[in-house]
Structure 1
């Protein structure tokens, strides 16, 4: 029997040729490449790029999903249109908004152009550069700043939410003028701008637009309370009508903190004007 034929029939493995080896490697590489392509095709990034096409003059966002227009363009639906900067404006280089802003001293009109802010006489351009306000001593009327005419005995007000002028001390507003305040005898002007403009001096009380003297009875003194008769009894005396009567202390009693009433000592209680021992 031929030796080579005997070797094949005996079951011994046959050594591959170099051509067969290269063919097997190529086949494995092809399978690996196909598998990698399938993984890339099913990845979120690939799905996103296929689902959201990026239009001209746009780029993928640096973070998150989607795309944004490049500088000099603004988004309009699914497209990026060139930003047209009108006269007297400048490009903001922002991806949102109109992409431009009016120069200082101009304001936007109909989202299309920039119109100069016309400042009337007696006015000034606001720091924003988009509007104007009137100078002190002027008031806004339509598109003008009119000078404020002060009546005699008046001055410009600092609070623009109230009247544009106020009356000097000793005067009060009377229509378009400042009238002198009639202060009665024994009274003085108040510092507040509300309520009655004058107050009676100490020792006097108001009655019917005048200041009448407070009559202080014997054994009493003037007080500064805004209520009551204007006087208080001395310690040991109690008010009785228009006078102060001496307090007659019963046994086992003493004057209270006010000094104008009495109370029983401890372990005593008040009963019919006396202090009786507690049972």
Structure 2
């Protein structure tokens, strides 16, 4: 039998077509129901109400953060786990209304001690409360010793020091510290007070030099002039003379020589060199 000889009856063709239509209808319905269920599930997962239902609830005395997610405690409260507890402000303190730190500070004149407490700053006699309101300093004329301000006992010929360190008093001009007193400085003849706070307190007048705690006159020899340099004999030879013993001797220039920059020595001209007190030509 050939395939061309096979023919479906009208009844058979209608039955098959109906079955196919029924299957197609069932498939379309199932797909629609599946898509609807998936949309509902995705909507629920992405919904803020669903996400919030999974997070911890916001406690009392809290509010949502102004930025980001989650919540933060109201002012006057501090977070403790999932709760907001009230900040307890101790006596003699005030609330800072800050969301960081302890949340309180001591009043002016009180100081924080171990534990949540503010104790009054005890200012001793001769002292004063400093601008911070939490410490004290001594008045002028007093010195701090432990928790007291003791009056400074000034010796004669002394005055209070304005320095915040070192001695509390200094001696007047013409006096120097000697233990707990101010002793007069012995200034030798032909000397003056130099005002130095260290080293020698006096210096010799011009024309004198120090020797054995006295000021001796400088004797300037012939062909010299007074020189107040801190070193040397106190005088210098004029140009063309050299220091010799206690005076100045005229320089005898050899041939092919000249006085150097100082004027108190000589040097050979160019192309000459010194040899046994003379200037000889270089080979």
Shared fold (TM-score, shorter chain, > 0.5): yes
* Matching residue of 1:185: 189
Cα deviation code 1:204-225 (max 9, x no counterpart): 1111111111111111111121
Partner Cα separation in structure 2 for residue 232 and residue 260 of structure 1? 9
Structure 2 residue corresponding to 1:124, chosen from 121, 128, 137? 128
* Matching residue of 1:256: 260
- How far apart are 1:164 and its partner, in Å? 0.5
**1:275 corresponds to 2:279:** yes
Partner Cα separation in structure 2 for residue 4 and residue 222 of structure 1? 152
Partner Cα separation in structure 1 for residue 107 and residue 224 of structure 2? 78
**1:111 corresponds to 2:118:** no
Structure 1 residue corresponding to 2:39, chosen from 32, 44, 53? 32
**1:96 corresponds to 2:100:** yes
| TM-score, normalised relative to structure 1 | 0.83
Partner Cα separation in structure 2 for residue 271 and residue 52 of structure 1? 107
**Is the alpha carbon distance of 1:13 and 1:145 closer, same or farther for their aligned partners in structure 2, counting shifts above 3 Å?**
same
Gaps of 5+ in 2: 1-7
Gaps of 5+ in 1: 41-45
Q: Which moved more, 1:239-248 or 1:265-274?
A: 265-274
Cα deviation code 1:143-178 (max 9, x no counterpart): 332222211111110113111100001001112211
Q: Which moved more, 1:241-250 or 1:60-69?
A: 60-69
Cα deviation code 1:214-273 (max 9, x no counterpart): 111111111121111111110100011111110011111111111101111112111111
**Is the alpha carbon distance of 1:57 and 1:236 closer, same or farther for their aligned partners in structure 2, counting shifts above 3 Å?**
same
Secondary structure of the equivalent of 1:239?
strand
**1:147 corresponds to 2:151:** yes
Larger Rg: 2
Partner Cα separation in structure 1 for residue 256 and residue 57 of structure 2? 104
Partner Cα separation in structure 2 for residue 258 and residue 51 of structure 1? 96
Equivalent residues of 1:68, 1:95 under 8 A apart: no
| TM-score, normalised relative to structure 2 | 0.82
Structure 2 residue corresponding to 1:245, chosen from 249, 260, 268? 249
Secondary structure of the equivalent of 2:140?
coil
Structure 1 residue corresponding to 2:232, chosen from 218, 221, 228? 228
Partner Cα separation in structure 2 for residue 236 and residue 94 of structure 1? 87
Secondary structure of the equivalent of 1:31?
helix
Secondary structure of the equivalent of 2:39?
helix
Q: Which moved more, 1:174-183 or 1:25-34?
A: 25-34
Structure 2 residue corresponding to 1:83, chosen from 87, 104, 111? 87
